[in-house]
Structure 1
Amino acid sequence: MSHPASASRYFVPQPSHWPLVGSIALLLLATGAVLMMNSVANGGFVLTGGFVVLAIMLFGWFGRVIGESEGQRYNLQVDRSFRWAMGWFIFSEVMFFVAFFGALFYIRVLAIPDLASPEQAALWEGFQDAWPSAGPGASDPFSQMHAWGIPAVNTLLLLTSGATLTWAHWGLIAEKRTQLIIGLLLTIVLGVIFLSFQVYEYGVAYADLNLKMTTGVYGSTFYMLTGFHGFHVTLGVTMLTVILFRVLKGHFTAERHFAFEGVAWYWHFVDVVWLGLFIVIYWL
């Protein structure tokens, strides 16, 4: 039997088997990836099994947390701990992208000029201090992905999605469920369109621009930064879809809706990262 949370009682959940299931999923994923990279038979099946177990874990564990929340087991102190946890998680994601932006800064501002300096002329004769560059010794020609095309459209899409999500949040606070549902649905659709354009952009880059992961340092940094961002957009769309289904089931109130806010924080973080990518990858 569930009991509503009180201000003086901090909810402590019962022992759970889900962390063990998650550990098994990670073991299968790591093992399957290593087997595939070494061309060992059945490595793909092991990797797929890891993803299946991971999906089961996420569905079961988050389902349990949702049940506890809807059963009013959490008080404001638990809500505060969730906010701190989400804040630190987003900070870790910020540091993840800072590492890649830092690598790009090092390449463009320090490494390329140094390799093109007179001191290095004997090693890399004729190498120019210019960007984009595949690096010294590269001979495979490629073209740069320009900003004023699909990247600019995708920027507009993500900025608009941030506005529609904020509009949905206003609807939740004002207890306007129709506005909340429409705003969430629009945000999800805009995210899916963004991902579709990115897939198309990658196809153009490979087929027409000869821009690949193997295209030296420019190709590798381009795909690492934009690819990981696309992965985060995919996660964001997935989380927003879960939130939409919860809204349709009648979850969340104007006063208690941290799950919605946490996903909104994550989506706005994804928007900000894309602005940085648009400037340093496509524009400059």
Structure 2
Amino acid sequence: MPIMFVGFLGCLILFSCYLKIPFLMMTGFSVCWMLLVLILEFGFSSKLSLVFTDVMLVGVVLFIVSEIFVFISFLTSVIYSVDFLVTGSVSSFSMVDYLGDALVSSCLLISSGVSLTIFHALYHVKGVFSWGMIIATVVLGLIFCVVLNEEWFNFSSDWESGVFSLFYLVTGAHGAHVVLGLGLLIAVSMWGLCSGFSLSGLGVIEAAVWYWHFVDVVWLGVYLVCYW
């Protein structure tokens, strides 16, 4: 299901760029759809087994590993394309200010990773479901999406302009994963609010935390390759 969602969201991103429709308007409906599928699939029941939990966590790990290779291929393409541009062309993504929106985005994601780590530690050590930390993580992620949206539409090159299309591809793919991670965090919050089953037994928190840290690490690679 997550792979289908990311593919579907990627198509929406490209379509929204072509029609000049704001990114968040297109992804908002996608997040609602994903949450609906999660609720219908898992419900709020406590009758799910530990075997299912283990299978789910293994699936998350395999998905993360597969996406790491996807982003490695994307970033390698960027490096290759920049190195072999013809003489007289732009030799790098110099029109993107690495000290501007990109630095703000980096601070937002790093801060969200810290707040989620605190939430995870409090839950496992003290058994406290820290609403403040998980809400802070979601808010920081949403602000990141807003900054990315503004950056896209203020970027001086079109998404169809040669090597610069890779900029939209890489940052758009990462943005799709951020939205998916936000969906997982919102789902964790909904389940915690309803308290219909043990979150630690299902491993939903672990899955969300692992995935969000994956998003953070990937962004560091994107920042170094596409912005620096």
Band the TM-score falls in, shorter-chain normalisation: 0.7 to 0.9
- Which protein is richer in helix relative to its size? 2
Q: 1:272 to 1:251 in 2, by over 3 A?
A: farther
CA–CA distance in 2 between the matches of 1:105 and 1:194?
24
Name the residue aligned to 1:196. Answer: 146
> Could you tell me how far apart the structure 2 residues matched to 1:74 and 1:253 are?
11
Counterpart of 2:122 in structure 1 is 171
Unmatched 5+ stretches in structure 1: 1-18, 20-24, 37-47, 116-126, 134-142
Distance 2:157 2:136 in 1: 32
Amino acid at match of 2:98: A
Task: Give the distance between the partners of 2:227 and 2:49, measured in 1 at CA.
Answer: 45
Aligned pair partner of 2:49 in 61, 65, 74: 74
- Alignment match of 2:176 (pick from 227, 231, 239): 231
Identity of paired residues, percent?
A: 29
The match for 2:133 is 183
Deviation at 1:163, TM superposition (A): 0.5
Taking the TM superposition and a 5 Å limit, the aligned residue runs for 1:123-134 are 127-128=87-88, 131-132=91-92
What RMSD, in angstroms, separates the aligned Cα atoms of the two structures? 3.0
Q: CA-to-partner distance for each residue in 1:128-174, whole Å, 9 max, x for gaps?
A: 486127xxxxxxxxx61110011101100000000100111112111
Q: Give secondary structure in 1 for the equivalent of 2:160.
A: coil
Deviation, 1:247, is 1.0
- Which SS does the other structure have where 1:274 is aligned? helix
Q: Could you say which residue in structure 1 is the equivalent of 2:113?
A: 162
Distance 1:159 1:61 in 2: 27
C-alpha separation in 2, matches of 1:252 and 1:163: 26
Distance 1:108 1:64, change over 3 A: closer
Secondary structure of the structure 2 residue equivalent to 1:155? helix
Letter in 1 for 2:52: V
Q: Is the 8 A contact 1:175 1:254 kept in 2?
A: no
Q: CA deviation at 1:255?
A: 4.5
| 1:96 Cα deviation from its structure 2 partner | 1.6
Alpha-carbon distance, 1:58 to partner:
6.3
Q: For residues 1-284 of structure 1, what are the structure 2 equivalents within 5 Å?
A: 55=33, 59-60=36-37, 62-67=39-44, 70-71=46-47, 73-75=48-50, 77-109=51-83, 111-112=84-85, 115=86, 127-128=87-88, 131-132=91-92, 144-173=95-124, 174-177=126-129, 180-205=130-155, 210-217=156-163, 219-251=164-196, 253=198, 255-283=200-228
Residues 252 and 175 of structure 1: CA distance in aligned 2, closer, same or farther (over 3 Å): farther
In 2 relative to 1, CA 63–274 (structure 1 residues): closer, same or farther, beyond 3 Å? same
**Residue by residue, what CA displacement relative to the aligned partner does 1:21-73 show, whole Å, maximum 9, x if unpaired?**
xxxx99xx8xx99xx9xxxxxxxxxxx9xx89x93x862564332445x12x3
Count of equivalent residues: 206
